[in-house]
Amino acid sequence: MTSNLLASQVTFAQESYLRPVPFTQVNIDDVFWKPRIDKNRLHTLPHSYHLLQTTGRLAAFRLDWEPGKGGEPHIFWDSDVAKWLEAASYSLANVPDTELEAQVDEAIALITSAQQPDGYLNPHFTIVEPEMRWKNLRDNHELYGAGHMIEAAVAHFQTTGKRTLLDAMCRYADHIAATFGTGPGQLRGYDGHQEIELALVKLYEVTGEKRYLQVAAYFVNERGRSPHYFDEEAVRRGDNPRDFQHQTYEYNQSHVPVREQKEVVGHAVRAMYLYSAMIDLARETGDGTLLEACHTLWDHLCRTRMYVTGGIGTSRHNEGFTADYDLPNETAYAETCAAIGLVMWSQRMLRLDCDSRYADVMEHALYNGVISGVSQDGTLFFYENPLASTGQHHRQPWYDVSCCPTNIVRLLPSLGQYIYATNKETLAVHLYIQSEARVYVGEQELTLRQQTNYPWEGAIALRLQMNAPTAFRLKLRIPGWSRQSTIKVNGEDIDLNACLEQGYATIGRVWNDGDEIQLDFAMPVERVYAHPAISFDVGRVALQRGPLIYCLESADNPGALENMFLPMDAEIEASYDPQFLGGAVIIQGKALRYEEDDWAGQLYRTTPPHPVSHTMRAIPYYLWDNREPGELRVWLKSC
């Protein structure tokens, strides 16, 4: 009975779940994202490659390091190389480049030369600590690195058709499948830093080998069971299981089995990768309990533990979550990788349930918490993304732990896959990015052309091109930030209230070649207020226009930003400035500021400070720290 039920659920999933349109079928040519994708290709990719070389990350695969020699290969250097390979593969699919292709081929040859006869592939545990192979899954990132290398192999095969890295990673996955599980002689372990789970699902999808899906399901299902594996392996190493830096297995989401987890806890990136894998498995196996768990976790995150920028993770101590409503601004961690992980999880939730709340969060993270992580020139990066700064926090060209630079570099060239999705009867538009997509709805091929100046303007025009009339449902996301929206089909008004389904305008009809759809979202500047339990933001206001959160910098607002107040009735205007950092809509309004020059050296006095009028100038949050150093504020005092 169970197997029959599972089979029917999988059939339902294959026919009804939305499948992202591959980025290779989407050509982005808008004024906002296209320059960023180009800079990623022309500047960030070569910058990252240079640093992979100069820091020894690529050279580690030569396996020629010896004790006493400098540049000891780190336990997760392989993941940085893998993410660069994944990014380079995506970039090559978009724009052929013989020099980049040669670098990729050379790197793959070097990587595969380091693979051991049994399939194992990790430079550190091959030449630095071979006796520790698979001995400390809690801390040593072996499966994490393997996961990223598998993702790189899948990307490289899908975009180039070459099998060298894919075949090597299949051998590695076979070794992992033989090593871990519930069978005789196998280790009943799982990774301390989640990643392998979602990677194995990708490997299953491209190879059709069910064993990889089964191993992914094993890793997810085994996590958090008692007796706890990390305790057992610590005892086998001769260590005290309690001698653990983070003191709790909430840190890596292994404190209880995944289906019993009700709150997002611990390391934010690990959580996002785990939840992404849980949704992948729910989709591929029809396991509704995993979907239910993700619904619970999603609601908890978005209602209590997410920054207004879409950033997640409060604390530097655990690079993750603390308590409900604990969202400080100046000490916000909000790791770039975590925001990227939230984008990944959001897209997967959309595949199972086309609900605009997932697309809203995906968009919000992309436009704020993700692209803030890279400078306008593409060569400097944020690891942490605070919402307030005294002027000491700046992007860096690289980090000893460079997961964020290499994560950004792989996201941008694959952005097209987040815009559209289809199944046999539906075409969904999740994001509004000027582009042309070649899609299939059922067996019918069609082209969708999207024209827009989003996010600066809310007008979007869609045009369909097809060989024959085709019946399908077109689902158009109505952004959660939009208070006034209109839709026309071939010039005729559509009743939005009559066709709204889970935040998507759903229009089912026979579509013809040349049909046009116009959407218009009003984009006024809005004041945003935080939940009263967020003590850091009580009495404060943030500014939002469309999907963008705004901030104040000292470069535009001389004096202490903490002394500034935005009156409740102050008029605020938005205008496009084509000269500002590549072009952006800037917000201006009348604010009040407490001046310090009339205090005559007094520290305290019995008369209140006198406020003076000040022209406030706010810029999109993602653009901060691209000019001279200075203060930053997202949340302003309100009066």
pLDDT of residue 9: 44
47 within 8 A of 397, measured Cβ to Cβ: yes
Classify the C-alpha dihedral 235-236-238-243 as positive or negative: negative
DSSP state, residue 506: E
- 507 within domain boundaries: yes
The H-assigned helical ranges of 353-431 are 356-364, 403-411
C-alpha angle 172-175-177 in degrees, rounded to nearest 5: 110
Classify the C-alpha dihedral 323-329-332-337 as positive or negative: positive
Q: Same domain for 335 and 437?
A: no
Q: Same domain for 466 and 558?
A: no
Average pLDDT of the residues of the chain = 95
pLDDT of residue 14: 56
DSSP state, residue 461: E
Q: Same domain for 106 and 66?
A: yes
Q: Same domain for 279 and 349?
A: yes
557 within 8 A of 619, measured Cβ to Cβ: no
- 16 within domain boundaries: no
- Written as one string, the DSSP assignment of 266-293 is SBHHHHHHHHHHHHHHHHHH--HHHHHH
Per DSSP bridges, beta strands 611-620 and 540-545 are unpaired
Q: CB neighbours of 587 closer than 8 A, spacing ≥ 6?
A: 525, 543, 545, 550, 572, 573, 574, 616, 617, 618, 619
Q: What average pLDDT does range 477-485 have in this prediction? A: 96
Per DSSP bridges, beta strands 540-545 and 525-528 are antiparallel
- 21 within domain boundaries: no
Residue-wise pLDDT tens digits, 376-427: 999 999 999 999 999 999 999 999 999 999 999 999 999 999 999 999 999 9
Q: Which of 393, 418, 443 is the last residue of a domain?
A: 418
The gap between the terminal CA atoms of the chain, to the nearest Å, is 64
Residue 79 pLDDT exceeds 60? yes
pLDDT of residue 558: 87
Give the Cα separation of 373 and 314 in Å (integer). 16
pLDDT of residue 71: 86
Q: Which of 361, 387, 418 is the last residue of a domain?
A: 418
- 3 within domain boundaries: no
Burial class for 497, CB neighbours closer than 10 Å (0-12, 13-18, 19+) = exposed
Our answer to whether residue 445 is catalytic in this structure is: no
What CATH number did the domain enclosing 508 receive?
2.60.40.1180
Q: What is the distance of C-alpha 549 from the center of its chain?
A: 17
Residue-wise pLDDT tens digits, 8-51: 344 444 567 999 999 999 999 999 999 999 999 999 999 999 99
Residue 432 pLDDT exceeds 60? yes
Q: CB neighbours of 439 closer than 8 A, spacing ≥ 6?
A: 21, 25, 420, 422, 427, 445, 446, 447, 448
Residue 4 pLDDT exceeds 70? no
At 600, is the pLDDT very low, low, confident or very high (cuts 50, 70, 90)? Answer: confident
Q: Same domain for 483 and 562?
A: no
Give the Cα separation of 188 and 182 in Å (integer). 6
pTM as predicted: 0.96
- Written as one string, the DSSP assignment of 27-53 is EE--TTHHHHHHHIIIIIHHHHHHHHH
Q: Which of 472, 494, 521 is the last residue of a domain?
A: 521
pLDDT of residue 11: 40
Residue-wise pLDDT tens digits, 115-157: 999 999 999 999 999 999 999 999 999 999 999 999 999 999 9
Give the Cα separation of 379 and 395 in Å (integer). 9
Task: State how many domains the chain has.
Answer: 3
pLDDT of residue 15: 63
Residue-wise pLDDT tens digits, 263-300: 999 999 999 999 999 999 999 999 999 999 999 999 99
Task: Give the burial string for 203-221 (b: 16+ CB within 10 Å, else e).
Answer: bbebbebeebbebbbbbbb
- 368 within domain boundaries: yes
Q: Same domain for 122 and 181?
A: yes
137 within 8 A of 229, measured Cβ to Cβ: yes
Q: What is the distance of C-alpha 610 from the center of its chain?
A: 45
Map 316-346 to HEC letters: CCCCECCCCCCCCCCCCCCCHHHHHHHHHHH
Our answer to whether residue 403 is catalytic in this structure is: yes
pLDDT of residue 2: 32
Give the position of tokens 């004096």: 559
- 11 within domain boundaries: no
Burial class for 116, CB neighbours closer than 10 Å (0-12, 13-18, 19+) = middle
At 3, is the pLDDT very low, low, confident or very high (cuts 50, 70, 90)? Answer: very low
- 352 within domain boundaries: yes
One of 222, 319, 553, 631 is an active-site residue; which one?
A: 319
One of 294, 354, 403, 404 is an active-site residue; which one?
A: 403
What CATH number did the domain enclosing 220 receive?
1.50.10
- Written as one string, the DSSP assignment of 192-206 is SS--HHHHHHHHHHH
Helix (H, G, I), strand (E, B) or coil at 634: coil
Number of helices (H) and strands (E), helices first, in the chain? Answer: 17, 23
Residue-wise pLDDT tens digits, 41-69: 999 999 999 999 999 999 999 999 998 88
| Rounded percentage of the chain residues whose pLDDT exceeds 70 | 98
587-to-82, 126, 367, 574 alpha-carbon distances in Å = 40, 55, 17, 4
pLDDT of residue 6: 41
Residue-number span of the structural domain to which 132 is assigned: 31-418
- 397 within domain boundaries: yes
Q: Same domain for 434 and 544?
A: no
- Written as one string, the DSSP assignment of 174-238 is HHHHHHBSSSTT-B----SS--HHHHHHHHHHHH--HHHHHHHHHHHHHTT-SS-HHHHHHHHHT
Q: Same domain for 402 and 425?
A: no
**Can you give the length of the chain in residues?**
639
Residue 627 pLDDT exceeds 70? yes
Q: Same domain for 284 and 164?
A: yes
Give the Cα separation of 550 and 624 in Å (integer). 9
Give the Cα separation of 89 and 110 in Å (integer). 16
Q: Same domain for 340 and 192?
A: yes
Residue 5 pLDDT exceeds 60? no
Helix (H, G, I), strand (E, B) or coil at 624: coil
Q: Same domain for 351 and 301?
A: yes
Radius of gyration of the chain (CA): 25
Q: Same domain for 474 and 403?
A: no
